[in-house]
Chains A and B, each alone.
Chain A
Amino acid sequence: MSSTTVEQKRDTATSPDAGLNLKPSGRRATAGSDAESLTLKGDMQTVGTVTVENPLFQCKDVNVYYGEKHAIKRVSIDIGRGEVLAMIGPSGCGKSTFLRCLNRMNDTIPGARVTGSIVLDGQDIHDKRQDVVQLRARVGMVFQKPNPFPKSIYENVAYGPRIHGLAADRIELDEIVHTSLRRAGLWEEVKDRLNQPGTSLSGGQQQRLCIARTIAVNPEVILMDEPCSALDPIATAKIEDLIDELRATYAIVIVTHSMQQAARVSQRTAYFHLGDLIEVGETDRIFTNPRHKLTEDYITGRFG
């Protein structure tokens, strides 16, 4: 890690707005439940192991500010190869914000500031030499609402490889489109209508088309932001089965409002609360025996 990282860390630790998001006065004095008093500690310690043996992403002391708002507070977590990491937590807890740090999507938001270090495969993604377009090819993203381009099914998948120059000729491009659609479990359904618009597909198919589009540029990580919230249960089950298959090849980070979905698809789960990373652990353990009271309250539906 570079020396700038250490300085950034020190900066945020002493920055005047470090504790801004805590509700002022009263809370510290009342300290009703254990859970609440725990959240009051300015220096929130994440429960569980945040590191993994074979990390692809290493995030250390990541802070995100939207103007005055301190949206992510000193979050440290590794993302391993071949795993699905689920990020859960109530609305506004920062899980999507953190996800968007991983491919620098927050850069596009005015007033957003990210500190700390996010290292992908040994290289800091905030390094000046880092090409953001290249980064987003390595770290693909699938969004809540399927958003195919207003082009044919074929072109939706071919677009990425074409702009990144991944195919030498039409034959290679065809091959990439074919493999990507097959991997996304969509090939059988669309092979006879590749020239029809992507928007003519059903919602679940569109989402799988978006996944095909993402994997067409050969990423290492796929970020998914609520990929199933606009889909029916059957389409959801198909995507979940696909996620389970894709994790052999890609690291996957999924943000979901459905903790049942997190339980079904992930190997590790991270619970966020008001910008703090409260707990990280094996999904098996988090959903049967969480250590932090806030985690337990959330997953048992006793929140708030």
Chain B
Amino acid sequence: MIEGHTSRAFDGALAALHMRVIEMGGLVVDQVREAAVAYTEWDSKCAERVVERERTVNAYDRSIDAEQLTLIARRQPMANDLRAVIAMSKAVGELERVGDESKKIARTVIGRGSRPGSATTRDARHLGRLAVSLLRLALDALDRIDPALATEVIARDKELDAEYAAGMRRLLTRAMEDPRHFDVTLEAAFVLKSLERIGDHARNLARHVQSIGRDASTFPAAGLSTSSVTPQESHS
């Protein structure tokens, strides 16, 4: 839906922007995955890698920002193009915050924290997998600009929220049973919270995808080629 302008240069600029956002998304998904592994395997090397790569994520954020500014100034996008550019800008914001959450999780491993117990690790691993798959799905929706897929992401975020609530309950129970390791529990709570937030960002990203596609699908002439459209047909 991004192609087809008379100005092929505009097609190119939009496609390039779209690709850069997806690229950044790929990197961010990897960050989440590695951060979750770093926490559950208590792998400080892996955690350091995440922290280090967060800079790259931020660099993407800044450079896409600049690209978008230029694209808006030079191409004056309208209608679905305008919605797409704004949605992509917001999507980049979500991805940047996902990056921040990953870094927070990784920092837990590098800092003075201590390794969580096996039950907590299990919860974190599960939530981590859910968050990664949700984010992947959201990125897929953005890649194909597929509003139906975006709807699925939004529905599946509830699943992650429920798992998070259950995980937190278990964490609290354990903390009450054995309050000696309260610091570890508190850290674990922050990690679970971060993973839950990542799910929220995936959901928001899906909403931004919907905002691109929404109006176009209700167009009277959507999908009809211009040559075959008579006024009567387009209004029926």
**Pair from one complex:** yes
A interface, CB within 8 angstroms of B: 234, 237-238, 240-241, 244, 260, 263-264, 283-284, 287-288
The 3 closest A-B pairs by CB, nearest first: A237-B6, A287-B73, A263-B74
B7 within 8 A of A: yes
Which residues from chain A contact B5 at a C-beta distance below 8 Å? Answer: 237
> Are the C-beta atoms of A260 and B70 separated by less than 8 Å?
no
> Are the C-beta atoms of A244 and B7 separated by less than 8 Å?
yes
Q: Which listed residue, B7, B69, B74, touches A237 by the CB 8 Å rule? A: B7
B8 within 8 A of A: yes
> Are the C-beta atoms of B74 and A241 separated by less than 8 Å?
no
The listed residue with most A CB atoms (<10 A of its CB), out of B8, B69, B70, B76, is B70
Which residues from chain A contact B70 at a C-beta distance below 8 Å? Answer: 284, 287-288
Given A284-B74, A287-B73, 15 more A-B residue pairs with CB atoms under 8 Å apart are A241-B6, A241-B7, A241-B8, A241-B9, A244-B7, A260-B76, A263-B74, A263-B75, A264-B7, A264-B74, A264-B75, A283-B74, A284-B70, A287-B70, A288-B69
Q: Which listed residue, B6, B8, B73, touches A263 by the CB 8 Å rule? A: B73
What are 7 A-B contacts with C-beta separation under 8 Å? A237-B5, A240-B7, A283-B74, A284-B70, A287-B70, A287-B74, A288-B69
Whole-angstrom CA separation of A234 from B76 in the bound complex? 15
The residue in chain A whose Cβ has the minimal distance to the Cβ of B74 is A263
> Are the C-beta atoms of A244 and B9 separated by less than 8 Å?
yes
Total B residues in contact with A, Cβ cutoff 8 Å? 12
Which residues from chain B contact A260 at a C-beta distance below 8 Å? Answer: 76
Whole-angstrom CA separation of A241 from B11 in the bound complex? 11
Min C-beta distance of A288 to chain B, whole Å: 5
Which residues from chain A contact B6 at a C-beta distance below 8 Å? Answer: 234, 237-238, 240-241
Which residues from chain B contact A287 at a C-beta distance below 8 Å? Answer: 70, 73-74
Which residues from chain B contact A244 at a C-beta distance below 8 Å? Answer: 7-9
A interface footprint on B1-42 (CB within 8 Å = 1, 0 otherwise) = 000011111100000000000000000000000000000000
The residue in chain A whose Cβ has the minimal distance to the Cβ of B11 is A241
Which residues from chain A contact B69 at a C-beta distance below 8 Å? Answer: 288
Which residues from chain B contact A263 at a C-beta distance below 8 Å? Answer: 73-76
Which residues from chain A contact B7 at a C-beta distance below 8 Å? Answer: 237, 240-241, 244, 264
Whole-angstrom CA separation of A284 from B73 in the bound complex? 8
The listed residue with most A CB atoms (<10 A of its CB), out of B5, B6, B10, is B6
Whole-angstrom CA separation of A238 from B6 in the bound complex? 6
Whole-angstrom CA separation of A244 from B10 in the bound complex? 11
Which residues from chain B contact A284 at a C-beta distance below 8 Å? Answer: 70, 73-74
Whole-angstrom CA separation of A287 from B70 in the bound complex? 8
Min C-beta distance of B28 to chain A, whole Å: 26
Whole-angstrom CA separation of A96 from B134 in the bound complex? 57
Whole-angstrom CA separation of A287 from B5 in the bound complex? 22
Min C-beta distance of A118 to chain B, whole Å: 29
Whole-angstrom CA separation of A264 from B75 in the bound complex? 6
The residue in chain A whose Cβ has the minimal distance to the Cβ of B72 is A288
Min C-beta distance of B100 to chain A, whole Å: 26
